Chain A
């Protein structure tokens, strides 16, 4: 018996609608098996994973907080990926955005004015965009592989920011520990709720999602992105410039990654330290595909992924299962979602030996 993946002539509307539920079903089945093997009550475990976090205001806020940078970065990436540009370096753009955005509180800590925060956000976006411009220019000018250049620039950014917070930017009163001084209040993104954690970064994420959705689906630019991504030759005939698109897509996604970075620095950590790089730029790639490169889908996908993080932590706290088990479970969820999404464009054909060839 052999399994074949066969491309469908047209994408399947049925599976397009069905695949999330199929994925959820498969995750529940395999999750039940996994938790049973681990000696847990699977009902309790799955309840803690998917339902409990949604019954608690504090946890809902944590989910939103966790999802914010993922969504912001993934939205930028969706434009990049749709246009056929593979920006794998969002993590670096996120870091450089956080770093450039921190320039004002680091060097002009006494400068306190309502204009500080908007300036920081703009500088963060510029920082991320400039850093993304490097692989974009290299690609459009010299035809280098943007996957490699953007990825490798992540390591450069990580080392550079690490050096900054350990050496020139280190808080002199910090007893030698890496990290800048805590920003003063005018450089801290205000909380959305009075006693909360969620900050204005979340608003940016929602605005970015709606704005980008509008651009992609209602404007000429969006059409250009799609055409150049799906059929570069047709795009050329239509007079679209693929090189300009590369620059645009990278700048766009770099700016959003940079905004995510400075929002995280200013809203959550309230200083720049050596722990800004947590892999959000890479996780956002998963979020982008989970949301099928649709900004509104990404909004949902980011929240779902954040739910699986927070649910996993709750499972660790309440059930005392190891974080490896919760990682495996999260992996199951992602695997099934992406696997069942394959069925939208492909069908599975089984072949039993050569005698029944052609049967499907």
Chain B
């Protein structure tokens, strides 16, 4: 019996090796490729990007082929995977995390015929590199308002990843939104130095709740914080994706990143031969930042949130409008003054009310 199994196994292996190694090269398809920081199953940031990829497949059917690499580290180690995709015949490559910035530009130099799209960065050293991002901070402002209405302790907790401008901007926008409702509202911040690490994110949520916060929000990619908040009976905001499944009685709303329209339009541009370098930073008005349904809150709070979304969408309201003081009490924006785009993109200071020292 054993002998037979062994022989069958040996035969199988021999067959396998003599089998022809397939070299897939179909007719001229456009190949769109994606590099992800986390697993596609993070149900947050990367999940949303992958939804965008699937939308591209759905939109163009047989005319496109897509590929992706997940859990690619943000370092010089990202160079090989990005170039690997370029070598494998990708026509357009979306690199979807901030620190892929230098490797993306380096790859763009080596592969001038491939189009590169780097999310959330600012370097476009070659004509075949574009930047795209969304004004997530607009959603943070709405969340801040909701938090101030819903919190009993007057303190919210914020799980932050890296002290880069995008994250600092979100924190500031959140507290400005909260202060527009309750001027004394406070915000505690925990830095976890990772985008995706569910146990660490969960620990941060626990630590914040132990310090008396009753609203948890995050700038990390997993659903761990939402699940901890649900266990501990406090409220939370979903991040990057609708996380209602992980906290049906916990999630107030979520900022949903909808990348599908952008991905479809950029892949289309490659197919039509009209692709040009761009630097896109869009928000609620363009449909890139979407709020999940306002749940687990009274109607008047939901109404307020809906109105704020409408005002931001129409441009009537800009979260970073004076009077705004910096954390140290000095004036940043005078009454009615709006922040200039340079300061917005390079934001490296807290506004008043954040109970934390910004790691500098």
Contact = CB atoms under 8 A, between A and B. Distances in A.
A62 B9 CA distance: 34
B21 A275 contact: no
B21 to A, nearest CB: 5
A165 B13 CA distance: 51
Interface in B84-110: 84-85, 87-88, 98-99
B16 A42 contact: yes
B71 interface: yes
B212 interface: no
Nearest to A271: B102
Nearest to A265: B76
A175 B99 contact: no
A303 to B, nearest CB: 16
A310 B13 contact: no
B203 interface: no
Nearest to B123: A175
A318 B347 CA distance: 40
B19 A41 contact: yes
A162 B193 contact: yes
A323 B13 contact: no
Interface string A307-350: 00010011011101011100000000000000000000000000
Contacts, number: 89
A191 interface: no
A166 B13 contact: no
B243 interface: no
A175 B345 contact: yes
A176 B58 CA distance: 39
Contacts of A276: 75
Nearest to B162: A178
B154 interface: no
A245 to B, nearest CB: 36
Contact of B359 (A166, A197, A269): A166
A47 interface: yes
Given A29-B13, A62-B80, A176-B346, A322 B70 contact: yes
Contacts of A28: 13
Given A43-B19, A317-B69, A278 B77 contact: yes
Contacts of A111: none
Interface stretch (B143-151, B163-171, B288-296): B163-171
Contacts of B163: 166, 176
B60 interface: no
Nearest to B71: A323
A323 B70 contact: yes
A126 to B, nearest CB: 24
Nearest to A173: B346
Contacts of B39: 322, 324
A44 B87 contact: no
Contacts of A162: 193
A166 B69 CA distance: 28
B330 interface: no
Contact of A47 (B21, B70, B162, B347): B21
Contacts of B360: 166-167, 170
A176 B12 contact: no
A172 to B, nearest CB: 11
Given A275-B74, A317-B69, A323-B71, A176 B13 contact: no
Given A32-B12, A278-B75, A278-B77, A177 B68 contact: no
Contacts of B280: none
Interface string B215-228: 00000000000000
Contacts of B59: none
A193 B111 CA distance: 19
A216 B71 CA distance: 40
Interface in B34-48: 39
A356 B39 CA distance: 53
A173 B301 CA distance: 42
Contacts of A314: 84
Contacts of A44: 19, 21-22
A269 B346 contact: no
B81 interface: yes
A320 B90 CA distance: 13
- In order of increasing CB-CB distance, the 7 nearest A-B pairs are A275-B75, A176-B348, A43-B16, A175-B346, A42-B16, A317-B84, A269-B76
Given A46-B16, A268-B76, A322-B70, 4 more contacts: A176-B163, A177-B98, A275-B77, A323-B70
11 contacts: A42-B16, A43-B17, A44-B21, A167-B359, A176-B163, A176-B164, A176-B348, A316-B81, A317-B81, A322-B39, A322-B70
